[in-house]
């Protein structure tokens, strides 16, 4: 069982505050991982690209307090959910300004809700966190982050994952949804290890092939959800709308993507604009497709003019 609903609900409202300098070290590590030679040489020369804040504020826990999966033990800030598997289910982000390398940033986190559900895929617990980032100039980013905890995979789920792996290795691919000009991307074992290192992410599904296969039933190493989300944001900043400021981004994880073969990044203007959107903004559908062409991450980004912001995220 995941735990008593009332007990887990008691964690709602718990807060945590951290302050960290946006160090050039992680920025250079990420730049090296993504072949960004200019930023590797001068990480402070431009604002931090959208999504790179996920390299920072990650918990530093002593080795003896890590779980089998490599994550810190629960029950400190996050509720003590008993279900073994933890996954990034999605996020909603709204930027005021971009992060600047070298500045001190305060991150205030709060548990907004804890929800238990049961369905065909078994018992699940969703934990929603709010993260507010600010520097001496004021707010930078408001983020809501959904975590889902699940039980061990069923025989049916393992069979489905094995079939997906076999299709990928055989070269099977058909786009479920396709933008006019998708960008090909890849993330091999070395890329995943380097991103895990830069973000101090110990989750074994990203670098331990034996654990992936034997414990969690995956056919290959799992590409980090926030890494794919960061690549999607970079696709917008560098190719789709260079020079535009990313005002907001929301996404949900639909299916996993593995290191077995490449995947794709997609963006296109939404058919119908949001009635509440500002006239100076533009909304794009933004999604990834996994190793066989199925939607992996599904989202939406809102752009505004870079000139509206003193510190745009564009490179």
Q: What are the pLDDT digits (tens) for 121-157? A: 789 999 999 999 999 999 999 999 999 999 999 989 9
User: pLDDT grade, residue 312 (50/70/90)?
Assistant: very low
In a domain, 313, yes or no: no
Residue whose C-alpha is closest to residue 315's, from 216, 239, 215: 239
Average of pLDDT values for 301-313? 64
In a domain, 314, yes or no: no
Average of pLDDT values for 93-120? 95
Q: What are the pLDDT digits (tens) for 46-61? A: 999 999 999 999 988 8
* Region of poorest pLDDT, from 110-119, 175-184, 256-265: 110-119
Tell whether the model's pLDDT for residue 291 goes beyond 90: yes
Tell whether the model's pLDDT for residue 189 goes beyond 90: yes
Q: How many domains does the chain have?
A: 1
The pLDDT score that the predictor gives to residue 140 is 98
The pLDDT score that the predictor gives to residue 121 is 75
Nearest-angstrom CA–CA distance, 241 and 232: 12
Q: State the maximum Cα–Cα separation within the chain, in Å, rounded to a whole number.
A: 53
Domain that holds residue 214: 5-308
Token duo for residue 120:
């065909």
Tell whether the model's pLDDT for residue 72 goes beyond 90: no
The pLDDT score that the predictor gives to residue 224 is 97
The pLDDT score that the predictor gives to residue 285 is 97
The pLDDT score that the predictor gives to residue 308 is 47
In a domain, 182, yes or no: yes
Token duo for residue 299:
């989202």
Residues 6+ apart with CB under 8 A from 299: 229, 232, 249, 250, 251, 252, 285, 286, 287
CATH number assigned to the domain comprising residue 104: 3.10.129.10
In a domain, 46, yes or no: yes
Nearest-angstrom CA–CA distance, 135 and 19: 9
User: pLDDT grade, residue 220 (50/70/90)?
Assistant: very high
Tell whether the model's pLDDT for residue 40 goes beyond 80: yes
Average of pLDDT values for 288-309? 87
In a domain, 268, yes or no: yes
Tell whether the model's pLDDT for residue 33 goes beyond 50: yes
Q: What are the pLDDT digits (tens) for 230-280? A: 999 999 999 999 999 999 999 999 999 999 999 999 999 987 655 555 556
With H, G, I as helix, E, B as strand and everything else as coil, classify residue 41.
Answer: helix
The pLDDT score that the predictor gives to residue 311 is 45
Cβ atoms of 97 and 55 closer than 8 Å: no
In a domain, 95, yes or no: yes
The pLDDT score that the predictor gives to residue 62 is 84
Tell whether the model's pLDDT for residue 5 goes beyond 80: no
Average of pLDDT values for 76-88? 90
Nearest-angstrom CA–CA distance, 266 and 271: 15
Nearest-angstrom CA–CA distance, 194 and 126: 28
Tell whether the model's pLDDT for residue 214 goes beyond 60: yes
Q: What percent of the chain has pLDDT over 70?
A: 92
In a domain, 116, yes or no: yes
Cα distances (angstroms) measured from residue 237 to each of 10, 30, 221, 241, 302: 41, 16, 27, 6, 12
Average of pLDDT values for 159-169? 94
Average of pLDDT values for 277-298? 89
């Amino acid at each position: 069982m995941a735990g008593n609903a009332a007990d887990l609900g008691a964690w709602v409202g718990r807060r945590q505050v951290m302050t960290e300098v946006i160090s050039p070290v992680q920025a250079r590590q990420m730049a090296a991982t993504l072949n960004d030679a200019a930023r590797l040489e001068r990480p402070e020369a431009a604002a931090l690209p959208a999504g790179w804040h996920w390299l920072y504020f990650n918990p530093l826990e002593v080795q003896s307090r890590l779980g089998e999966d490599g994550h810190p033990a629960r029950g400190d800030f996050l509720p003590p959910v008993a279900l073994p598997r933890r996954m990034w289910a999605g996020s909603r982000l709204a930027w005021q300004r971009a992060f600047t390398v070298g500045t001190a940033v305060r991150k205030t986190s709060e548990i907004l809700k804890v929800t238990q559900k049961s369905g065909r895929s078994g018992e699940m617990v969703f934990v929603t966190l709010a993260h507010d980032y600010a520097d001496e100039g004021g707010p930078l980013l408001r983020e809501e982050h959904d975590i889902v905890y699940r039980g061990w995979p069923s025989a049916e789920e393992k069979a489905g994952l094995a079939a997906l792996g076999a299709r990928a290795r055989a070269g099977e691919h058909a786009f479920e949804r396709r933008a006019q000009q998708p960008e090909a991307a890849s993330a091999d074992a070395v890329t995943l290890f380097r991103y895990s290192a830069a973000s101090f992410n110990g989750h074994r599904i990203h670098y331990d092939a034996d654990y992936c296969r034997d414990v969690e039933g995956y056919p290959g190493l799992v590409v980090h959800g926030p890494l794919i989300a960061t690549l999607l944001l970079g696709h917008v900043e560098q190719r789709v709308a260079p020079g535009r400021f990313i005002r907001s981004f929301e996404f949900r994880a639909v299916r996993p993507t593995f290191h077995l073969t490449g995947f794709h990044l997609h963006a296109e203007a939404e058919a119908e604009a949001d009635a509440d959107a500002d006239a100076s903004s533009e909304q794009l559908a933004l999604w990834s497709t996994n190793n066989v062409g199925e939607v992996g991450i599904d989202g939406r980004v809102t752009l505004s003019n870079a000139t509206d912001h003193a510190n745009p995220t564009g490179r």
